[in-house]
Chains A and B, each alone.
Chain A
Amino acid sequence: MTTAPGRAAGVLLGFLPFAVALAALAVLQPLLPPTATIVLINVGVNVVLAVSLNVVNGFTGQFSLGHAGFMAVGAYTSAKITLAFADVQLAFLPEAVSDQLVFAVALAASMAVTGLAGFVVGMPSLRLRGDYLAIVTLGFGEIIRSIIENVAWLGGALGLSGLPRRTNVVWIGISAVATVIMARRLAGSTQGRALFAIREDEVAAEAMGVDTTGYKVRAFAISAAYAGLAGALSAHLIQLATPGSYGFIRSMEVVVMVVLGGLGSITGSVIAAALLTISLEGLRGFQEYRMVVYALLLVVLMLTRPQGILGSRELWDLWRRPRPPANPPLASTGEDGNGEGAA
């Protein structure tokens, strides 16, 4: 099926299950109680965050603690766009369509801008190793927040309010699915292999001719772009973008999700994100204990099962047809000795 129309048909066919699912979501949306909708949307946002962070922390083995800073960039970019078009609508389209189109553009723009920010931040930072990278990314996150607070055009400390409520279950569904697809395709691609190589042994990878800094920066930029998407979605849920919401603590929450799910496991991140978001809602009465529980969870997890729930395996591996590995398995990697991430 390598002819153009054949391939096009193949792509469209691949879309079919998603199209059906989205249609189902669109129908379901008004029937859900509002608090359930909010929880679902938050789950989706956290899934996007966790999976995108996994690309850097899990696939590439670099430790980034500045994810919330990129959320902020995405949130503010999209906010500026939707606010600019708040009272404007495209003449030839009905209002609802015009609004959605504006939102789509806002999301795309926020991804682009944040990706660029990720590139800018990554370039100097990714020459550093492990612990230093963690602190530097944390620092950048704080610098981004500092800048936002001091710039009046971005609303300063008050932030940007009055954002239209555009996020809904459909958009979240699309975003979450897009993120997971991105991660999976990345894992199965040449870039993905390079990232895993860097994770396993950076010096050896460099010696093998892998442009480590280049790949790391690119992974960082992609991860940042999706964090920006999450930020934009979350800002248009609470209709507010404040610098205070995107601090170090938010970054840490995402780190906990990724670590809990298993560094390097996409489905692990999805499961952990869903688990933690839902239990957070359930534990709302015990708010003050939440962070203590997170912290204990982290420590206990590291002491007993540092590979998290799924390690670097994937849920969809259960359905994989067994086939002989193309290369002999690498000696000591992850859980199942299979150098390929998820194929």
Chain B
Amino acid sequence: MRPTRALALFAAALSLAACEKKQSPQAPQAAAAAPTASVGDVIVLGHVGSLTGNEATFGDSTDKGLQLAIEEANARGGVKGKRLELKRYDDQGKPEEAAVAATRLVVNDRASILVGEVASRRSLAMAPIADEHKVPMISPASTNPKVTMDGDRVRPYVFRVCFIDPFQGTVMARFARETLKLSRVAVLRDVGNDYSVGLADYFLTKFKELGGTIVDDQSYKAGDQDFKAQLTAMKGKKPEGIYVPGYYTDVALIARQARELGLRQPLMGGDGWDSAKLFEIGGRALDGCYYSNHYSPDDPSPRIQEFVGRYKAKFGAVPDTMAALGFDAGLIAVDAMTRATDLSGPAIRDAIAATKDYPGVTGVITLDAAHNAAKPAVVLAIQNGAARWVATVAPDASAAPAPVPAPAK
């Protein structure tokens, strides 16, 4: 009796649902068009970040960078005579919360631009909302290619101011092979983190392409405390280096445990390492390790030193990568809004897409057809509990094939 009833219900529903127009796109659009021509004399910049949770320093630093950028813009008179305001929501590290936060920012708070998120999976949750409501979104630090690409179509309203993982993985692969002259490397990836998995895969491919051998490929889950099983298995395969493209909380422990097991090889990683907590927890175990990053606070260039000085004055700490990227995202947003013909979503979007040679703190930013920034990466070495700049790697034409740009919608 029950199955028949259920089927009957579905049949009835279908006949009703069939009469319904395609719901979502129409209604919110009509609502969105008017409000983004900003309310009064305030422009809202919406930030979705993980302000609490395991990756809290990412969200927190990004927010501080944004705050600095907005403060500077307001000091210069705002954009088109209007003051900028930063509204932030915490997504607690969860993609569903990121989606809801993005929706709130766009619908309730009438944000003209969304900034977020750092983690690719949370950016992915936000992307459809940006596209649907025609509000441009700038990710400061998501490096997974899927964030700006939906299949082989470029997402019309999503941009990023950082490089992407195919490039980042290649950078470290080349550094390992050509500079450190390693031929046998083991990989330890965080299987619960798309960023880590993606980066590990790109590294793997390039390293093998350059003639190296991957002797072992182990995995862990973020939040694990004990990595000795994986490290012991790796030790047996005698690697010359270990690539650990994870987040700082786990990497610190991995480094310590590796040293305890007698593994003295250099560890290598990506921008997920960048946090003051890495050094606090990892301590001396990290000496002799390397990681790729977007910027280095020791860079003597005046632009960077000025940023570092101002950030230190306001927040009492040296800005890390996320802060720098947050700052740049804010700058790009302000610049685009200044150049845009008006403050509607599509106009701002076009202005962002036209960003060329903008001098950001993390490098000169030009957004390509796939809405990504082709920027150099830096490689940092860790010695005595601090990271120091070692090399800068320029974007290389063979890093990733340029995707076919889709006609803007």
Contact = CB atoms under 8 A, between A and B. Distances in A.
Interface of A: 11, 15, 18-19, 22-23, 26, 29-30, 33-35, 38, 96-97, 99-101, 104, 107-108, 149-150, 156-159, 161-162, 165, 168, 170-171, 174, 177-178, 181-182, 185, 238-240, 242-245, 284, 287-288
A220 to B, nearest CB: 16
B144 A158 contact: yes
B192 A149 contact: yes
Contact of B95 (A15, A23, A245): A245
Nearest to B23: A168
B354 interface: no
A38 B20 contact: no
Nearest to A98: B18
A178 B121 CA distance: 33
B52 A26 contact: no
B96 A22 contact: no
B121 A96 contact: no
Nearest to B125: A240
Interface string B184-207: 000000111110010000000000
Contacts of A182: 2, 6
Interface stretch (B100-108, B291-299, B318-326): B100-108
B191 A23 contact: no
Contacts of B27: 30, 34
A38 B100 contact: yes
B75 interface: no
B324 to A, nearest CB: 26
Report which residue of B95, B146, B193, B221 has the largest number of chain A beta carbons within 10 angstroms of its beta carbon: B95
Interface string B114-130: 00000011001101100
B124 A240 contact: yes
B197 A157 contact: yes
Contact of A162 (B12, B108, B132, B150): B150
Given A34-B103, A244-B192, 17 more contacts: A22-B12, A22-B13, A30-B27, A34-B31, A38-B103, A96-B20, A101-B14, A150-B191, A156-B197, A158-B121, A161-B146, A171-B17, A178-B6, A238-B99, A244-B94, A244-B121, A287-B52
Nearest to A250: B96
Contact of B151 (A33, A162, A181): A162
A96 B190 CA distance: 40
Contact of B20 (A161, A170, A178, A245): A170
A30 B26 contact: yes
24 contacts: A15-B12, A26-B16, A30-B26, A34-B107, A96-B18, A107-B10, A157-B121, A157-B193, A158-B146, A159-B121, A161-B146, A162-B128, A165-B132, A170-B16, A174-B9, A174-B10, A185-B1, A185-B2, A238-B95, A238-B100, A239-B125, A240-B99, A242-B121, A245-B95
Contacts of B16: 19, 22-23, 26, 170
A33 B107 contact: yes
Contacts of B191: 149-150, 156-157
Contacts of B94: 244-245
Contacts of A35: 103-104, 107-108
B125 A29 contact: no
Interface of B: 1-2, 5-6, 8-10, 12-14, 16-24, 26-28, 31, 52, 90, 92, 94-96, 99-100, 103-104, 107-108, 120-121, 124-125, 127-128, 132, 144, 146, 150-151, 190-194, 197, 221
B322 to A, nearest CB: 20
Given A30-B23, A100-B14, A165-B24, A238 B125 contact: yes
B251 to A, nearest CB: 17
Contacts of A287: 52, 90, 92
A288 B52 contact: yes
Contact of B96 (A18, A150, A174, A245): A245
A325 B403 CA distance: 72
A233 B173 CA distance: 42
- For the complex of A and B, the 8 pairs showing the least CB-CB separation, nearest first, are A158-B194, A100-B17, A97-B18, A238-B99, A174-B13, A161-B124, A157-B192, A30-B27
A15 to B, nearest CB: 6
B124 A158 contact: yes
B70 to A, nearest CB: 21
Nearest to B28: A34
A107 B14 CA distance: 12
Nearest to B193: A157
Nearest to A111: B6
Given A26-B20, A158-B144, A244-B192, A238 B96 contact: yes
A157 B13 contact: no
B51 to A, nearest CB: 9
B183 to A, nearest CB: 28
A104 B2 contact: no
A30 B20 CA distance: 10
Contacts of A238: 95-96, 99-100, 125
B194 A26 contact: no
Contacts of A150: 191
